[in-house]
Structure formats: structure tokens, C-alpha cells
Amino acid sequence: MTDWRYWLARQRGTLIAAGIFLVMFILYTSRHPAGFSASVVQTAANKGVLLAFVAMAQSLVVITAGIDLSVGMIFILTNCLASWITDGTPLQTAAGVVAVLATGLACGAINGAIVIYGRLQPIVATIASGAVYYGIALALRPQPGGSVNSDLADALTGRVFGVVPASLIVLLAVVLLIWIPFSRSVTGRAAYAAGSSETAAYMTGLPIQRAKMVAYMLAGLLSAIGGLFVTFFTYTGDAAYASGNTYTLYSIAAVVLGGVSLFGGSGSAIGAIFGALAFRTIGDLLFVFDFDPLWQPLFQGLVLLLAVCLSSVGLLQVRNRLEWFG
Amino acid sequence: MTDTSSAAPSIGRTIGRRLAGFDPAVLTSFGCILVLLLASSLYSANFLSPAYLLQQLKVASFLGIIATGMMLVILLGQIDLSVPWAVCAGAMMSCALAAHGVTGQIFAIPFGIFCGALIGLVNGFGVGYLRIPSMIVTLATNAVTQGLMVVYTGGFSPQDSASKSMHYIATGFLLPGLPNAVLVWALIAAGAVFALNRTVFGRAVYAIGNRERAAYMSGIDTRRIVMIAFAISGALAAFGGVLLAGYASKAAQSMGDAYLLPAIAAVVLGGTSILGGRGTYLGTVAGVILITLLQSILSVLQIPEFGRQIIYGLVILAMLLLYGRGAKQRQ
């Protein structure tokens, strides 16, 4: 097999997700009264990147065959924290941003430590740690409120040169600074290997524990970036339980739409980003087609159900029934 | 045992032997319940009063019924994330039918359960026949059910109220002193214990949880069993919703959200392996009571909501670290 074919096969999930997103977004902008204008793109980007960051976070952990059900709660926690400390002079704001990111990293490290050294199943462990993170968020913000450095917030949610949404540039920077170095490092390869077959990876002498730890930590960090951004959009911190849960669940949906296998070992964070953007666009499509907004959750659910059912067409190619059981 | 009539040490040994027959996780969780009760009785003697304990058992029975279905699915090595809206759909649909005359009143409860079973059937078909990971199928059906309910209710909590029979089954007293909800839970528990230990279906569930491929090779129609298990889980979640609607005398939006994570936590705290194939129903009972007591005591002690969340999470983590740890990689 030639190189590009191999590359194509490996990136299939990511490319399909990107394709779905493009089709939907073109459909969306073609029906939108304002058309394909800078402000339409900006609004869509700002809504999309929040889920994109959380979906990226989820994908890193899912690649190692784990799952992080606390990403939504880290998102909420960092949102509440950011509404306290990212204000004031530029220096104070910068320190605040660093502190918020460090908090996300620490939350991820706690998750990683519980799962790796505590040897607990990630599903239950992160449900429990998520409850703790939510509790802290609620302690920080019993009522919605707070403030944020509006110069920074406006800069990061506005447009650069009047065309490109700044939030997309940040997303791109995060991909270039976090995802690309991670996926190309030994640690990143070990994360894929651990997700594919942990025993084989262990036998090969790959640093599995380090890889998983880094995956959970980066997941915390990426959720925190999402939490920072939601603060920039809303100017407030809000410890909303339902919102945290929704982000966690949507992050799983986005990851699956983005072609990342829930069994681990395949897919990429870039696919998850496109999955997230596509999932957000599905919700918006109904508005431009003049449907009652009441139908939005049903439509979103049906598209998700259809998408996951389509992923099982591979069953038709099974030669031996035992392959059903993976 | 025949040697119980002999001297005291041998009685101790008998008890020891009996205890050794139990899963250590089940023993630990019952021990945690005792510690929790004793510690809280230092704060107020009311925590040990029969009235309080019976009230807790009644509250626990709703979670218990939902956790029974969840346990079945977890024993298969799967998970059911569609519980929140299955609960809600059960409650809303039974209330909706109850508003339609006498026939509606009669069929309200079965109809609610039927709707839940339908949701479960879709889940089971996706997991069993289409081989989609349960986490994502149940997530999708949860979203679809939510969508259907939102369209049906118009985004508000419906005005229909629960039927008399729903109210009776959740709050009445068929046997004096024993709330009906507890009775219903006891019946379902008896059914679950029988099904898990004494039927082919139950053995098949454990077998699939251990290794589906091996179960298939030994002649079990694993896909059908998986589908049935999910249908039962959906039906029980909806039945829990019906009871909750009877308890609160109407259905509400997102009334099921508060039951997903506690149900999973209760099953796992009761010693059922989240990877499937291992666990006893007694453990789930212990887990359900433990979670309910913990929530109740934290709210009686008037700890603010944030503190309750933090303690709740930490206690679950601590108990899992105590007895829910996996094997080392090397083994």
C-alpha cells in the first residue's frame, strides 16, 4: 500500500467527520438570512469551539480506551474559578488565566492518579471525581455571577482582521501546540498502543502509565480552556449541573461522530473537533429551516442515533460470526 | 449446620464460615451502612428510629427498582445511560394516559412500563444486533426520548396528574406499617434474585458478562439475551418513573436526571464489577441503601449543597478504593 493510501485509511474517521461538518455548514449558511458572512461564521465558531475543546479533551482519554465523565464538571469548575480571578490589570488577568489552566491540569492529574494508581474503572471513578469538582464549583459560585477582563474576552471572541473568528485561531493554536506534539511523541504513540491492546503495549515496554497520565492531564487542561472560553462569552460563572452533564454527554457524542473508537486505539482529536462542530451545526440547522425550536432535541437525537447505526454497516462484511464479539 | 449445639467457639466459627461465603464487597458495604448509622446517631438519636429508617427504605425503593435494571445491564459488561429519560418517559406517559377516562386509569401503569421497555428494546437491538457500544446507543436513545418528550409536553412540565392506582402503589399501605413502594421493591428484588440465580437467562447474563464469545460458542443466543436485558432495564427505569410520579402526584421535566449516577454508583458500590460477569443482588441492595442513607444524612445535617456533592464524591471514591480496585497489569 502506498503512503497516501495508508494515510487515507488511517484518517478515514476524521475525514468523514470533516465532510459531514462541511456539508451541514454549507447547508446552514445557504439557508441563513445573512448568508456566508463573517458575523455568521463568528457566532457559529464561538458556539462550536466550546464543545470542540471538551470533545478534544474526551478524545484524548478515549484513545487510551478510558473515558472521562468529569470533563463537563471540570469545564464548569474552571468557568466558576475564571469568573473570580480573570479580571483586573493585564498582569492579574494573565496570572488568573494561568491559575485556571493549572486547575484544569490538576483536576486531570487527580483523575489520572485515581484511574492509574488507584486502579479504579474510569467510568465510576470520574463520575465520583466529577461530583467533587461540581461541589467545588458550587462553593465558588452559589449564584451565577462574577466578572472577567472584558478587553481580553472581547479580543478572544471577536474577529481578527475583521474576518477570521479569534476563537477559531485559538482552537488552531491549541491543536498545533498540544495535539500535534502529543500525537507525534513517544507518549502519544504509547497512548494509542495502550488503547489498542494494553497487554501488548506493556509487553513492548511502552510507557503506558505515563501516556495515560498525560492523556488525563491534557483532558483536564483542554476542558479548562473550554471553561475559560465560556467565561469570555458569558462574562459570568455559573455552576449549572445540567450544563456540565450536557457537555460531558455531548463530548462523547462528538467523539463518536468524529470517528474516535470508544474501544480505544484509533481516531484523532481533530476528528473529535469536527464531530463537535458538526453536532453543534445539527442543532442550528433547524432554526434556519424554520422549524419549531421544540423539535431541536429530537432532531439532534435522531441524527446521532442514525450516525451510530451507520457505523455498524461493517457488520455486513463480517466473514466469521465470532468477529461480532470483537 | 449440625454442630451449632456445641460450645461457643464453634458457633463463632460457624458464623465466620457463613460470613466467608459472602462477597467481601457486600460485607464492606453493609459495614459502611452500620458505621454511617452509628456515626449519625451520635448527632441525633432520631437516625436510629424505626420511622426514619422506614422512610429511608421507602425513598430507597425508587432508586432500588431503577438500579435493578442497571445492575442487569452492568452484569453484561454494558451500561445504560438512557435511564434519565426512560424514568421521565415512564412517568409522563402513564400520567398522560391516566387523563383519558377509566380505561386510561386502568392501563396507566402498564403503558408507562411498556414505553420504557420500548426504549430498552431499541438499546438492546443496537447493542446486541448492531454491535454498537452501549454507552453511545443508550446516549442516543436518551436524546431521542428527551426530544420526543419535549415535543409532547411543549417544553413544560405536563399538567396531567398521576392516577389513583399510581398514587396508591407509591404511597399506600397494603400491609400495615410497610409502605407499598418497599413492598414493590421487595417483589422485584425477589424476582431479580430468582432470575439471576435460578434461571437459564440469569446464568446467560453472567456468562456474557464474563466473555461473550465463549457464551456464544456454548450455544447461548447472546444477542437475544442482551436485547432482553436492556428491555428489562428500560422497563424497570420507567416503572421507577411511574412510582415517582405517583409519589409526587405528577411528572416533571428532567425528574430522572437525579437517578442515573446514583444508580450506577449503587450497583458498583455493591460489588458488581463494571466490566460485567460478577456481582450479587444483595450487594446492589446494600449499595442502594448506602447511597440513599448518605444523601439523606448529608441533607439532615444541613450541610450546604456544595459540601454534600464533595462528600458524596469523596465517599464513593474512598469506598471504591477500599474494595473496588482492578488487578495489576502484570497479572
Indicate yes or no: CB of B133 within 8 angstroms of CB of A262.
yes
Residue A11: DSSP 8-state = T
Separation CA A290–CA A298 (nearest Å): 15
Sign, CA dihedral B218-B221-B226-B231, equals: negative
Say if CB A24 and CB A282 are below 8 A apart.
yes
Rounded average pLDDT over B44-48: 83
Residues 40-79 of B with CB under 8 A from A: 79
Asked if the model's pLDDT at residue B53 lies above 70, the reply is yes
Q: Which residues of A touch B139 (CB under 8 A)?
A: 249, 252-253, 304
pLDDT in tens, A252-293: 889 988 888 888 888 899 999 999 999 888 878 877 777 777
Cell of B72: 442487569
Q: Is B275 on the interface with A (CB under 8 A)?
A: yes
Asked if the model's pLDDT at residue A325 lies above 50, the reply is yes
Please state whether beta strands A164-165 and A159-160 pair in parallel, antiparallel, or not at all (unpaired): antiparallel
Q: Which residues of B touch A198 (CB under 8 A)?
A: 329
Q: Which residues contact A67 (CB under 8 A, 6 or more apart)?
A: A58, A61, A122, A123, A126, A252, A262, B135
Q: Which residues of B touch A117 (CB under 8 A)?
A: none
How many C-beta neighbours within 10 Å does residue A90 have?
A: 10
Residue B48: DSSP 8-state = G
Indicate yes or no: CB of A121 within 8 angstroms of CB of B126.
no
Q: Which residues contact B258 (CB under 8 A, 6 or more apart)?
A: none
Cα-flanking dihedrals φ and ψ of residue B2, to 5°?
-105, -20
pLDDT band for B40, please (50, 70, 90 cuts). Answer: confident
pLDDT band for A37, please (50, 70, 90 cuts). Answer: confident
Rounded average pLDDT over A13-42: 83
Helix (H) or strand (E) holding A60: helix A38-63
Separation CA A29–CA A44 (nearest Å): 10
Separation CA B61–CA A81 (nearest Å): 38
| Residue in A closest to B273 by C-alpha | A121
pLDDT in tens, B190-205: 999 999 999 999 999 9
> Nearest Cα to A53, choosing from A164, A179, A183?
A179
Return the SS3 of B161: strand
Asked if the model's pLDDT at residue B140 lies above 70, the reply is yes
Residue B87: the pLDDT is 96
Indicate yes or no: CB of B316 within 8 angstroms of CB of A118.
no
Residue B2: the pLDDT is 45
Residue A240: DSSP 8-state = -
pLDDT in tens, B234-287: 999 999 999 999 998 888 887 888 898 889 989 988 889 888 888 999 999 999
pLDDT in tens, B1-19: 444 444 555 666 666 666 6
Greater pLDDT, A7 or B112 = B112
What would the DSSP string read from start to end of A125-189? HHHHHHHHHHHHHHHH-SSSB----HHHHHHHHSEETTTEEHHHHHHHHHIIIIIHHHHHSHHHH
> Nearest Cα to B201, choosing from B216, B188, B220?
B220
Residue B3: the pLDDT is 46
Which of B210, B320, B321 best tests the A interface by mutation, with the highest count of A CBs <10 A?
B320
- Residue A68 to residues A72, A173, A305: CA-CA distances in angstroms? 9, 23, 22
| Residue in B closest to A315 by C-alpha | B130
Cell of B110: 402498564
Residue B281: the pLDDT is 94
Residue B329: the pLDDT is 59
Instruction: ipTM value, please give it.
Output: 0.84
Say if CB B129 and CB B224 are below 8 A apart.
no
Residue A284: the pLDDT is 82
- Chains A, B: CB contacts within 8 A come to 170
What would the DSSP string read from start to end of A95-106? HHHHHHHHHHHH
pLDDT in tens, A176-218: 999 999 999 999 999 999 999 888 998 999 999 999 999 999 9
| Residue in B closest to A312 by C-alpha | B130
pLDDT in tens, A131-166: 999 999 999 998 888 888 888 888 888 787 777 888
Separation CA A180–CA A80 (nearest Å): 29
Greater pLDDT, A25 or B122 = B122
Greater pLDDT, B181 or A29 = B181
